Amino acid sequence: MDGNGRWAKKRFLPRAAGHKAGVDAVRKVSRAARELGLECLTLYAFSSENWKRPEQEISDLTGLMKHFIRSDIAELHANDVRLRVIGDYRAFDDEVVELIEGALEKTRDNRGHTLVIALNYGAQDELARAAAKAAEKGPITPAAIEAELDTAGLPPLDLLIRTSGEVRLSNFLLWQVAYAELYFTDMLWPDFDKEALSAALENFAARERRYGGL
């Protein structure tokens, strides 16, 4: 979900305003995903590299995270949405951790749709951790590594969408993306909505997926 800062800059607003608009986009897109029948939606909210950002920006982001959980968890639960978090969210302050764990517990038995939030997530770290855990249990095989990934138990990744004109993966779901389709758009994340998601899905549906075959 890239482009919050540039969205704000174009409007002569502080970066915090861009992040707030980005959270509004999260609401729009997560609702749209349910309406369009998607089984699972994963949103890259905070990478393990984001700790390098200015302290005030990190504070703004964690504040928005707290607000989102408090204000939106009831709606998610009412719509049978299961929340899941990948990455080491326990690196955040105690209040954030408590809110996250409360939301996970509240929604853990829901089955209508899964909303996955990547927090303090980095795919290289995920792979290193998964390989180490697999090695403790026996031979390191693709299946053994996959069973230890943060995404274990989730459906396979079909489509990865990158906003704001960036054409790279930025350490996101490197293992899971092996046979996923990639979709790049110049649209900044705060402008991404149901119409934009539908366009990405239509593009995806028109592709022929051969998984290395003819």
Please identify every residue annotated as catalytic: 2, 50
Buried b (16+ CB within 10 A) or exposed e, 127-160: beebeeebeeeeeeeeebbeebbbbeebeebebb
Rounded (10°) angle between helices 55-78 and 15-35: 20
- Locate tokens 């989102």: which residue? 68
Q: Across the chain, which distance is largest between two alpha carbons, in Å?
A: 56
CB neighbours of residue 70 within 10 Å: 12
Give CA separation, 138 vs 130, 132, 134, in Å: 12, 10, 6
CB atoms closer than 10 angstroms to residue 18: 22
Query: Which of these, 81, 33, 26, 42, lies nearest to 198 by C-alpha position?
Result: 33
Please report the DSSP string for 77-129 in residue order.
HHTTEEEEEES-GGGS-HHHHHHHHHHHHHHTT--SEEEEEEEEE-HHHHHHH
